[in-house]
Amino acid sequence: MNRAINFSPGPAVLPVEVLEATSKAVLDFNNTGISIMEISHRSKEFDALIKETQQLTLQIMGLSPDEYSVLFLGGGASLQFLMVPMNFLRNQADYVNTGAWSKKAIKEAQWVGKTNVVASSEEAKFTYIPKDIKFTPDADYVHITTNNTIYGTEWKTIPDTGGIPLVADMSSDFLGIPRDFSKFHLIYAGAQKNVGPAGVTIVVINKKWAEEKGNPNAPTMLNYMTHIKNDSLFNTPPCVNIFVVNQTLKWIQKQGGVEAVYQTNLKKANMLYDFFDANSDFWFTPVKNKEDRSIMNVVVNLPTPELEAKFIEEAKKKHNMTNLKGHRSVGGIRVSIYNACPLEWVEKLVKFMEEFTKVNK
Ligand SMILES: *Cc1c(COP(=O)(O)O)cnc(C)c1O
């Protein structure tokens, strides 16, 4: 297998052993003689798989199944932008605007009801995380985006909401950085960045909150209680995707859990940021505050767009490094280094960056 060095922001690289286990299960799931694509979601074998995946998720997050439910839903993280306010925005909700994904979440909330944008970094092109935010005392919830995939910023310290339920879009740093997950009432993440393929969204939700505060009139499929009551088996779930998430969670556990994975993630990120800071007359990091720099998506600029294009092209031609182009809305270079991106890839990349600097500066 000739693996490309893939720095894609998502769908992103998965561990090879996860791909191998999946290719086996596509032919024969757990010696049932049935493919994971063919097996009934009501079979005892699949039931065991989905239950184990839910348990593993909570175990890795350090949460109790008495308090939280794990749901595997369709519609991407983008559908959660709507589902969250549909269920929980009864009077008003607070949102922090830290980028394009936050804005999309805000747009859906505004469609549902009163939405307060209590802080924003838009005036500085989303290059920092707002601090010292004043929340609305009787807001139904506060919504944040923990990692801003496009701009390379990340919340390292979770804000104190003074008891207001906290909801987070963790799509691009879920299980890549240790957090006190019990501080959140609802966490959602499209799987395709850190924990699986596109097509399944993981929702970890406080059951009591959903029971007591959720809108009972929300449409059936968009009502969290529907999925909580049915252990995420109200309708046919994305079975293959859940298998891949299961395998990725086991891989995380084998590495030593989130803390161990995080230590490697930190090394990868620091390798890049240290190089940029040491060569700051050629490599420009838009995120100045070190605390706010993402350890998942590292964004950087060269002196001209032409040099950036040259760097991206040479990385591909010489080293088979792909997907280094920044998001179309901001340009530049973006290196996505999620959990499954090996340390050696980043070492190789930094070596190439050194060479490129020597020749082009
Ligand atoms: C990728 C991403 C999304 C969109 O996820 P979909 O599953 O494509 O809807 C939302 N939020 C963040 C932070 C992302 O990185």
3-class state of residue 78 by DSSP = helix
Share of the chain above pLDDT 90, in %: 99
Q: What is the pLDDT of residue 101?
A: 98
Phi/psi-derived region of residue 331, left when phi > 0, alpha when psi is between -120 and 50, beta in every other case:
left
Mutate to test the pocket of ligand 1, among 169, 174, 175 (most ligand atoms within 8 A of CB): 169
How many A from CA of 77 to the centre of ligand 1? 5
* Cα dist from 345 to 182, 253, 293, 297, 358, whole Å: 33, 22, 20, 14, 20
| CATH at 287 | 3.90.1150.10
User: In this structure, which residue's CA is closest to atom 4 in ligand 1?
Assistant: 77
Whether 161 contacts 96, CB under 8 Å: no
| CATH at 72 | 3.40.640.10
In the predicted model, what is the mean pLDDT of residues 256-279?
Answer: 98
State whether 95 and 208 are in the same domain.
Answer: yes
3-class state of residue 232 by DSSP = coil
309: CB partners within 8 A, 6+ apart: none
In the predicted model, what is the mean pLDDT of residues 279-284?
Answer: 98
How many A from CA of 357 to the centre of ligand 1? 33
- Amino acid identity of residue 115, one-letter, is T
Q: Looking at the predicted structure, is the pLDDT value of residue 1 above 80?
A: no
In the predicted model, what is the mean pLDDT of residues 337-344?
Answer: 98
State whether 266 and 250 are in the same domain.
Answer: no
CA-based torsion, 114, 117, 123, 127: positive or negative: negative
State whether 76 and 222 are in the same domain.
Answer: yes
How many A from CA of 179 to the centre of ligand 1? 19
- Summarised one tens digit per residue, pLDDT across range 80-107 is 999 999 999 999 999 999 999 999 999 9
User: In this structure, which residue's CA is closest to atom 14 in ligand 1?
Assistant: 171
pLDDT tier at 227, thresholds 50, 70, 90: very high
What's the domain range around 249? 16-255
Whether 299 contacts 337, CB under 8 Å: no
Q: What is the pLDDT of residue 354?
A: 98
Does 108 contact ligand 1 (Cβ within 6 A)?
A: no
- Summarised one tens digit per residue, pLDDT across range 14-63 is 999 999 999 999 999 999 999 999 999 999 999 999 999 999 999 999 99
State whether 249 and 305 are in the same domain.
Answer: no
Q: Which of 146, 147, 152, 149 is nearest to 166 (CA)?
A: 146
Q: Work out which ligand 1 atom sits closest to the CA atom of 78.
A: 9
Whether 169 is a known active-site residue: answer yes
pLDDT tier at 301, thresholds 50, 70, 90: very high
Mutate to test the pocket of ligand 1, among 80, 83, 167, 172 (most ligand atoms within 8 A of CB): 172
Cα separation, 39 vs 60, in Å, equals 27
Cα separation, 92 vs 359, in Å, equals 55
- Residue that is written with structure tokens 């406080």 in the block: 206
State whether 251 and 102 are in the same domain.
Answer: yes
Q: Looking at the predicted structure, is the pLDDT value of residue 13 above 80?
A: yes
Q: What is the pLDDT of residue 303?
A: 97
Boundary-marking domain end, from 202, 230, 255 = 255
Whether 143 contacts 84, CB under 8 Å: yes
Residue 11: is the preceding peptide bond cis (ω within 30°)? yes
* Cα dist from 182 to 3, 93, 327, 333, 343, whole Å: 38, 20, 32, 35, 30
Whether 101 is a known active-site residue: answer yes
Q: Of residues 140, 155, 193, 345, which has the active-site annotation?
A: 193
